[in-house]
Chain A
Amino acid sequence: MSAIEIVLWVAVPYVSIIAFIAGHIWRYRYDKFGWTTRSSQTYENTLLRWGSPMFHLGILMVLAGHVVGLFIPREWLYAIGITEEMYHWGATVMGSFAAVLTLAGLAILIYRRRTVGPVFLATTVMDKVMYVFLALTLGFGTLATVVHQVFGSGFQYRETISPWLRSIFGFQPQPELMANVPILFELHVLSALALFALWPFTRLVHVFSAPVGYLFRPYVVYRSRDDVQGTRAPKRGWDPISTPDPQRLRRP
C-alpha cells in the first residue's frame, strides 16, 4: 500500500472529521449570532419556491440513502429479507430520483443566486466555495451512480466503501478496502470529505439547527429576564447603511 493511499484513506478522513467536529464547537462558541440559514427569501420567492424545497427534500432523501448504504452492514439487511437484488434496484431507482431532484433544485438555486441582483450581492466568499464543493460532491456521486449502477454492471460499494468508512469510525482504518474503487467513487468521497471540513465555516451549520424540538414544546415560550442576562460583550458587526457595490453584479 502506497503512502498516498494512506494519506487519502486514513489521514484525510480523520482531518476532515476533526475539522468538522472542532469547527462546529468553535463556531458555536464564537459565532452564535452568525449561526443562521441566511435565507434570501425576502429578496426573491418565485424561483426559491421551487428550488429550495426540491433541493432540501432531495438532499434529505440522499442522506437517508447514504445512512442505509454506508452504515448498515448488508448482512443485517439480508437478515430482514432484503436481498442484494432488491437493495440494488431500490437504491438505484430511489437514488436516481433523489439525485435528479437535488441537482435540479441546486441548479435553480445557483441560477437564482447568480442572476437575482440582491441575492448575488448577499453572497459571501464562503458561500461560493461551499457551492463549488457541494456541486462537486453531488456531481461525482450522481455520475458514479449513473456510470456504474445504472448503465454499468453495478459496483459493490457495500463490500468496499461502506466497511472502509465504518473502519474509520471504529478507529481501525482499513485503507486497503479502497484499493480497487472506481475513480468516480473516489472523487465523490474526497470531495465530500473536503465539504465536511468546510462545513462548520459555511451556512451549512443550519443543518444542526433542524427545529425538531418545535414539535414538542409549548406554543408560547416564557423566559425570565434574569436568565438571559449574560456577561458576553456585545459583538454584532452591525454596519451603518451604505449602498451595495453594483460593480459586483457585473462579470469582469
Chain B
Amino acid sequence: MKVMAQISMVMNLDKCIGCHTCSVTCKQAWTNRTGVEYVWFNNVETRPGVGYPRTYEDQEKWRGGWKRTKRGNLKLKDGGRLWKLAHIFSNPKLPEIHDYYEPWTYDYDMLLNAPAGDQIPVAKPRSLLTGEDTKISWSANWDDNLGGSLETMQDDPILQKMSESVEAEFSKAFMFYLPRICEHCLNPSCVASCPSGAMYKRAEDGIVLVDQDQCRGWRMCVSGCPYKKVYFNHRTGKAEKCTMCYPRIEVGLPTVCAETCVGRLRYIGLVLYDADLVAEAASVEDEHALLAAQRSILLDPNDPAVIEQARKDGIQEDWIDAAQRSPIWKLIQQYEVALPLHPEYRTMPMVWYIPPLSPVVDVISGSGADGEDARTLFAAIEKLRIPIAYLAEMFSAGDPDPVDLALRRMAAMRSYMRGVNLDGEGDERIARAVGMPGEDLQEMYRLLAIAKYEERYVIPSAHAEQAHDLEEMGCSLDFEDGPGMGGAGPFGSSSGQSVPVAVENFQSLEARQTADRPSSPGRVNLLNWDGNGTPRGLFPPKDKDVPQGDMGPVQSTGKRNKGKDV
C-alpha cells in the first residue's frame, strides 16, 4: 500500500442554476490572454447537448483516455508510444479551433469614432484569429439552456449511445447543467500521452500540471485527454490546462470557480488513495465495475492501518486530519451520492458529481403530485428511465444502479427532512428504504444544504517548511535596537534580502492579523501595529506587579496554521 493524497472536488448538480459565474471568474483569472481566447478551464454545459468542444465525449472519434487490451493491460486508446511518436508531425486526433469555436471580439472603436450619421453605429464582430470581420456561429455554450439544440442535440454522443429517438420528448422533460473543470485524474491519460514528459501529477496533492518550460508543443496531451480539458495556446505553442488554482489551494483557499459559485454547490477536500492499486483498478474488465473499483482504492482516513501507512509515506498530520474531515470522502464513500464523470474512460477522474434530482421533482410537481413525498419520488425515479439512463451513461458507464441509489438517497433526504421540519421527526422508514440511518440523512442534509465555508472547503495548506522557516527566521542583527530591528532592513522598510515568495506569506499575514500578540517582539511601529496585545512602552503601566505585554516569541495562532505546531 502506498498512500497518496489527492485534492478533489464534488459538484452538486442539483443546485447548479447554469449562471456561468464559475466560468467567467475562472476565465478572468486564468485565460484572459492572447492565444487562449477560446479556452475555458471551467465551462458549463447544458445537458442534453453536444458539449465543448463539440461531441468531445465521442471517444470513437477522438480516441481519448485508455483502453483495456486483450491481455488485461491498459493502453492509450489512441495507440501506444510508437504510434504517438509516428504521428507527431501531424496529430490526426487534434481538435481544430473550429471544434471549439473561433474566438472573436467586437469593433468597439466604431461605436466611438463613427462619423455622425442617420444610422446608429454597430460594433461588428471581429475574429481574434484573423482580425477580419466574422460571423459568429458557435461558442463555448452556444446551446445554453437547450437554445437551438433541436438542430444539434442529435449530435450529443450520449443520446446517440442510448439508441432511442427521444430527443424531442427529452428537451421537454429533462435538462440540467454540467460544470466541468480538469478531472485531475488518478490515472491521467494526458500525462501518459506527453512525449516530452512536461506534464506531471504532483506527488503531494495530485494536481495535474503542465511544465511550461518543458512543453514542446507536441499536442498529444490535447488529444489524449478524453474530457478535452488540456488546451493548446496557439500563440505560445504550449499546452495549458486547469491548475486547480494551485496557488490558492496551497494556502488553503478554494479554487476561484468554487469560491465564486453562487449556488455553493462545490466541495473541495482531500482523499487518500492507494497509488499501488490505481492501474489494477483502472483495468478491470467490466466497465460497470469501474466505479466500484475506483471507490475501492480510496482509503478510509479513519482506519488506523491507513493512518500509520500515510505517516510512513510522508503525509503530514494536518493533511491526515483534513482527509478525515473531508466532505469529498463523505459524499463519495459514506453517502455514495457522488459519482465520477465517465469512469469508462479509465482515467480515474477525481471531480465527482451528485446527479440532479430536480428534473425528476419538476416532472412530479408539474403533474400536480407531491414532489416531496418519498413514495411518489421513488416511483418517479423508477419510472423516468430515460433520464436515469442518460445520467448513467455520464456517471457510471451506463449502469443505472449507482445513479438510482444516489437519486433515491437525495429524494429520501428531501422527504425525511420535510418530516423533521413539519412533524418534528423524520420517518425512519424512508431512511431505511435507502439503507441509511436517519442521522446520516440529517448529516448529509447539513452538508448539502447549510454547510459553511470551512465545511465545504477542507483544504490543508501546502507544506513548505523551509520557506516558512526562512520567512520567520530572525536575522542575526535582529536584536532590539540592532541594525536589523526585525522587519525593516538596513536600508529602510523591506530592503535587504528578498523575502522568499513562499506560500506562507499569505498565512503569516493572516496569522499576524488574527494573533493576540504583537507581531514583532520588542518593538512597536505604530504605523503598522495591528492592534493586538499590549506591547511594552505603548501604554503606561497599570500594575507594577504584573509585567505588561507578552514579549515571548511570535507564535502562529491563526486558524489555518493549527496543524503546523503539532
Q: Do A and B come from one complex?
A: yes
Which A positions have Cβ atoms within 8 angstroms of B? 32-45, 48-49, 52-53, 55-57, 117-118, 121-122, 206, 209, 211, 213-215, 217, 219-226, 228-229, 237-246, 249
Contact partners of A213 in chain B: CB under 8 A: 197
B128 at the A/B interface (Cβ < 8 Å)?
A: yes
A42 to B90, CA, bound (A): 10
A77 to B196, CA, bound (A): 36
Docked-complex contact B214 and A32, CB < 8 angstroms: yes
Our pick among B90, B92, B195 for the contact of A214 (Cβ within 8 Å) is: B195
Docked-complex contact B33 and A35, CB < 8 angstroms: no
Docked-complex contact B234 and A42, CB < 8 angstroms: yes
Q: What per-residue 1/0 map shows which CB atoms of B294-315 lie under 8 Å from chain A? A: 0000000000000000000000
Contact partners of B365 in chain A: CB under 8 A: none
Docked-complex contact B195 and A36, CB < 8 angstroms: no
Docked-complex contact A245 and B131, CB < 8 angstroms: yes
When C-beta atoms are compared, the residue in chain A nearest to B216 turns out to be: A209
Provide a sorted-by-A list of 26 A–B residue pairs whose CB atoms are within 8 angstroms. A33-B212, A35-B216, A39-B217, A39-B232, A42-B234, A55-B89, A206-B217, A211-B85, A211-B88, A211-B216, A214-B85, A214-B195, A214-B196, A220-B187, A221-B191, A221-B201, A222-B201, A222-B203, A223-B203, A225-B203, A225-B205, A229-B464, A239-B235, A240-B34, A241-B105, A246-B130
B144 at the A/B interface (Cβ < 8 Å)?
A: no
Docked-complex contact B128 and A243, CB < 8 angstroms: yes
B236 at the A/B interface (Cβ < 8 Å)?
A: yes
Most chain-A Cβ atoms within 10 A of its Cβ — which of B131, B191, B236? B131
Query: Given A225-B204, A244-B130, are A219 and B216 neighbors across the interface (CB < 8 Å)?
Result: no
Closest 9 CB pairs of A and B: A211-B195, A246-B131, A219-B192, A32-B213, A38-B237, A117-B130, A36-B217, A36-B237, A244-B131
Docked-complex contact B131 and A49, CB < 8 angstroms: no
B277 at the A/B interface (Cβ < 8 Å)?
A: no
Which B positions have Cβ atoms within 8 angstroms of A? 32-35, 37, 76, 81-82, 84-85, 88-92, 94-97, 105, 126-132, 187-188, 191-192, 194-197, 199-205, 211-219, 232, 234-238, 250, 462, 464
A118 to B97, CA, bound (A): 11
Query: Given A37-B218, A240-B34, A241-B37, are A43 and B129 neighbors across the interface (CB < 8 Å)?
Result: yes
Docked-complex contact A122 and B235, CB < 8 angstroms: yes
A64 to B130, CA, bound (A): 39
Tell me the smallest distance from the CB of B74 to a CB of chain A, in Å. 8
Docked-complex contact A223 and B84, CB < 8 angstroms: no
Contact partners of A245 in chain B: CB under 8 A: 131
Contact partners of B214 in chain A: CB under 8 A: 32
Apart from the given pairs A45-B90, A211-B88, A229-B464, 8 other A-B contacts in the complex at a CB distance below 8 Å: A118-B234, A206-B217, A211-B197, A214-B84, A214-B197, A220-B187, A225-B205, A238-B236
Contact partners of A214 in chain B: CB under 8 A: 81, 84-85, 194-197
Tell me the smallest distance from the CB of A30 to a CB of chain B, in Å. 12
Our pick among A38, A211, A220, A223 for the contact of B196 (Cβ within 8 Å) is: A211
Contact partners of A224 in chain B: CB under 8 A: 202-204
Tell me the smallest distance from the CB of A134 to a CB of chain B, in Å. 16
Docked-complex contact A121 and B34, CB < 8 angstroms: no
Most chain-A Cβ atoms within 10 A of its Cβ — which of B37, B188, B196? B196
When C-beta atoms are compared, the residue in chain B nearest to A226 turns out to be: B464
Docked-complex contact B129 and A117, CB < 8 angstroms: yes
Most chain-B Cβ atoms within 10 A of its Cβ — which of A35, A225, A246? A225
Contact partners of A35 in chain B: CB under 8 A: 213, 216
